[in-house]
């Protein structure tokens, strides 16, 4: 805080001189003096070590990176590295780096990192291969046994061997061994040995479906498709198939396939697949249909009766079994697609047959329900929409009591009290059905005639009262736009601008009505405030701009105390001490407002001349 300062670090220095508050509190700032202190270089090598590596490893040492620095690497006292902040060590030694700042010639040595490189194991294979043998054979692969070494064998990336210097391969693959010296963890991987095990051909049979089926059916027997093989099919000992991996069978018998690899001459014969073909029942319908009748009618459908042969029957409507419909005939009473499945018992082969489908259509009687079910209470002017069950192609006749009132549609709009219903007729079947009866009661709505509908215009602070007729059993809710504003009274006093309405509700019936809108406009007073552009206390030679809010259709008068000082503008620039106000007048409504006073204070400023302009540069 003295008039001088001793700089020891880099920076941009300046001084601020200030008068005390009693003398006005003004201050001034000197020019800036640049000072630069050159730092010593710093350096650390990572990893810190000691580091153990194996023959062939590259140990990357990294020094702290500093822009513009020079680097010299050493192994002991021997210079080994070029001018970079990294060095790749491949031999044992004590490594360090010296960093030099070429601008200041300052240098600094790093920490020393000890690196130790040890030998790797011998992974010479007893034989390089490749080996080829048949499934069931094997091949021993080995590397030299070495003291202190562990062994891990792999087939590709899969671990397969225990801790031994040899491995017996029985499956195809590419084999390697990783040998590790336990003391140093140094390891080596052998060359890959290729082993190929020729598989025996696959001789199995996969049927395309059940091997027990009904006469007229078949099953395809399939052996796996394999390259370079030939196929021979047999029914018992009799050849039945050509050189194909599939055979279609429609007669009973025991089937096998013999598969021969034409390259390795390996042969395999599949287990036997037994095929059994059973008899199928007769399902001839007494009539194909289709049948059509009205709800309440029926139709008998039947097939030839083979129950004496043990055949059983199950009738279906579509895919759904009909409970207890287990005779050779069925009486249909509902719409559907009927068929019967006839089945031999399991002892006779269990075969079944399905009849053709018989289409039965039962024309339904129309059904109808009117919603809402009622009773329904409405208000004068309401439209009560009654809706009957919608059915395509139907005719509708609406009634109020016994009087026909509606056209041919499934809806009717009731506007008067009464008991409403609808009769629905199917024009195709001439079937008709009446709906439920819905009682509708229509009651009056309140009177919402305004006594004085306006519009009204007055100044802020004024008011106006408007009302609708008072009515027994009614509640009132006043609104300004969509906002509720009034209590439960048939009149309301407005003090703010808006569009006012009232909703009158008869409590007993919930019938309501909304009045016409009343427009109210309240002219606001002009705004008179002052916003300074900056501090109102400042030093000589400065100024501040005072701003009143900009408003349409107003005039401005500025005063310093009681003295007029400004023209008709909403801003005034001040450079002398004083108490300032602004008077704002609305030229349309003649409303006037005067702002609170804004006090401006102007103080003297001190002198700050430096003894020297700089810049200065020196060492740390």
Please, which pLDDT band fits residue 620 given cuts at 50, 70 and 90?
Answer: low
Taking only the tens place, the pLDDT of each residue in 146-189 is 999 999 999 999 999 878 999 999 999 999 999 989 888 898 99
The pLDDT of residue 573 is above 90: yes
Q: What letter would DSSP give residue 296?
A: T
The span from the CA of 380 to the CA of 414, in Å, is 11
The span from the CA of 177 to the CA of 188, in Å, is 8
Q: Look at residue 23 in the predicted model and tell me its pLDDT.
A: 84
The pLDDT of residue 220 is above 90: yes
User: What is the maximal distance between C-alpha atoms in the chain?
Assistant: 135
Torsion angle, alpha carbons of 302, 304, 309, 311, to 10: -40
543 and 573 Cβ atoms separated by less than 8 Å: yes
The span from the CA of 401 to the CA of 404, in Å, is 8
Torsion angle, alpha carbons of 316, 317, 320, 322, to 10: -60
Please, which pLDDT band fits residue 619 given cuts at 50, 70 and 90?
Answer: low
Please, which pLDDT band fits residue 523 given cuts at 50, 70 and 90?
Answer: confident
The span from the CA of 273 to the CA of 247, in Å, is 12
**Which tokens sit at 225?**
């498709």
How confident is the model over 198-212, as a mean pLDDT?
92
**Which tokens sit at 99?**
């960093």
Per the listing, tokens 């270089």 go with 41
* Phi, psi for 347 (deg, rounded to 5): -65, -25
146 and 178 Cβ atoms separated by less than 8 Å: no
Taking only the tens place, the pLDDT of each residue in 341-356 is 999 988 888 888 899 9
Taking only the tens place, the pLDDT of each residue in 221-267 is 999 999 999 999 999 999 998 789 999 999 999 999 999 888 887 88
Per the listing, tokens 């070590």 go with 49
Q: Look at residue 618 in the predicted model and tell me its pLDDT.
A: 65
* Phi, psi for 25 (deg, rounded to 5): 70, 15
Among 493, 494, 498, 492, which residue's Cα sits nearest to residue 448? 492
The burial class, CB within 10 Å (0-12 / 13-18 / 19+), for 426 is: middle
Among 388, 363, 390, 351, which residue's Cα sits nearest to residue 373? 388
Strands 544-547, 518-523: pairing is unpaired
524 and 497 Cβ atoms separated by less than 8 Å: no
Taking only the tens place, the pLDDT of each residue in 356-411 is 999 998 888 788 899 998 799 888 888 899 999 988 889 999 999 999 998 789 99
Question: Percent of the chain beyond pLDDT 70?
Answer: 99
Long-range Cβ contacts of 315-323 (<8 Å, 24+ apart):
315/339, 315/340, 316/340, 316/341
Taking only the tens place, the pLDDT of each residue in 92-131 is 999 999 999 888 889 999 899 999 898 899 999 998 889 9
The span from the CA of 186 to the CA of 188, in Å, is 7
Mean pLDDT of the chain: 90
Taking only the tens place, the pLDDT of each residue in 396-421 is 999 999 999 987 899 999 999 999 99
How confident is the model over 545-554, as a mean pLDDT?
94
Q: Look at residue 602 in the predicted model and tell me its pLDDT.
A: 93
384 and 413 Cβ atoms separated by less than 8 Å: yes
Q: What 3-state class would DSSP assign to 307?
A: helix
The pLDDT of residue 294 is above 80: no
The span from the CA of 355 to the CA of 344, in Å, is 15
For the chain, how many residues are written?
620
- Three-state secondary structure readout of 54-112: ECCCCEEEEECCCCCCEEEEEECCEECCCCCCEEEECCCEEEEEEEECCCCCCEEECCC
The span from the CA of 428 to the CA of 597, in Å, is 94
**Which tokens sit at 473?**
């059993």
The burial class, CB within 10 Å (0-12 / 13-18 / 19+), for 438 is: buried
Per the listing, tokens 């439209």 go with 383
The burial class, CB within 10 Å (0-12 / 13-18 / 19+), for 15 is: middle
């Amino acid at each position: 805080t003295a008039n001088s300062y001793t700089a020891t670090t880099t920076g941009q220095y300046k001084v601020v001189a200030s008068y005390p508050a009693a003398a006005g509190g003004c201050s001034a700032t000197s020019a800036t003096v640049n000072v630069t202190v050159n730092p010593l270089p710093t350096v650390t090598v990572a990893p810190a070590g000691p580091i153990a590596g194996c023959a062939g490893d590259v140990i990357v040492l990294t020094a702290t990176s500093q822009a513009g620095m020079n680097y010299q690497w050493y192994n002991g006292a021997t210079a080994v590295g070029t001018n970079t902040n990294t060095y790749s060590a491949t031999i044992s030694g004590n490594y360090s780096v010296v960093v030099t700042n070429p601008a200041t010639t300052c240098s600094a040595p790093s920490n020393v990192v000890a690196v130790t490189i040890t030998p790797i194991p011998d992974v010479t294979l007893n034989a390089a291969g490749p080996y080829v043998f048949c499934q069931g054979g094997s091949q021993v692969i080995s590397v030299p046994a070495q003291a202190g070494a562990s062994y891990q064998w792999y087939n590709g990336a899969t671990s397969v061997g225990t801790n031994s210097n040899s491995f017996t391969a029985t499956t195809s693959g590419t084999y390697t061994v990783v040998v590790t010296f336990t003391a140093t963890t140094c390891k080596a991987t052998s060359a890959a040995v290729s082993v190929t095990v020729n598989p025996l051909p696959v001789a199995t049979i996969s049927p395309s479906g059940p091997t027990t089926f009904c006469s007229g059916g078949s099953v395809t027997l399939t052996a796996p498709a394999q390259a370079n093989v030939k196929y021979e099919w047999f029914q018992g000992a009799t050849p039945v198939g050509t050189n194909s991996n599939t055979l279609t069978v429609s007669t009973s018998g025991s089937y096998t396939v013999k598969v021969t690899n034409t390259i390795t001459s390996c042969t395999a014969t599949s287990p036997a697949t037994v095929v059994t073909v059973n008899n199928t029942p007769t399902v001839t319908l007494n009539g194909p249909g289709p049948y059509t009748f009205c709800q309440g009618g029926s139709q008998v459908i039947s097939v030839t009766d083979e129950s004496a042969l043990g055949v059983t029957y199950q009738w279906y409507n579509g895919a759904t079994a009909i409970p207890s419909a287990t005779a050779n005939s069925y009486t249909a009473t509902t719409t559907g697609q009927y068929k019967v499945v006839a089945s031999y018992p399991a002892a006779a082969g269990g075969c079944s047959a399905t009849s053709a489908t018989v289409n039965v259509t039962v024309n339904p009687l129309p059904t109808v329900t009117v919603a809402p079910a009622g009773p329904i209470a409405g208000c004068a002017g309401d439209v009560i929409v009654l809706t009957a069950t919608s059915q395509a192609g139907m005719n509708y006749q609406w009634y109020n009591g016994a009087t026909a009132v509606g056209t041919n549609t499934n809806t009717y709009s009731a506007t008067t009290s009464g008991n409403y219903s609808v009769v629905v007729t199917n024009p195709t079947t001439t079937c008709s059905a009446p709906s439920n009866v819905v009682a509708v009661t229509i009651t009056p709505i309140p009177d919402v005639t305004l006594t004085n509908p306006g519009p009204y215009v007055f100044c802020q602070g004024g008011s106006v009262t408007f009302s609708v007729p008072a009515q027994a059993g009614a509640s009132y809710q006043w609104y300004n736009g969509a906002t509720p504003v009034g209590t439960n009274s048939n009149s309301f006093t407005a003090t703010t601008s808006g569009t006012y309405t009232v909703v009158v509700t008869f409590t007993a019936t919930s019938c309501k009505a909304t009045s016409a809108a009343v427009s109210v406009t309240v002219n606001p007073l002009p705004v008179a405030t002052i916003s300074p552009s900056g501090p109102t206390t400042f030093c000589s030679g400065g100024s501040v701009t005072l701003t009143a809010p900009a408003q349409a259709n107003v005039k401005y008068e500025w005063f310093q105390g009681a003295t007029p000082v400004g023209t008709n503008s909403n801003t005034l620039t001040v450079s002398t001490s004083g108490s300032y106000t602004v008077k704002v007048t609305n030229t349309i409504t003649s409303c006037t407002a005067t702002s609170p006073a804004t006090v401006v204070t102007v103080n003297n400023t001190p002198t700050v001349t430096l003894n020297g302009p700089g810049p200065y540069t020196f060492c740390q």
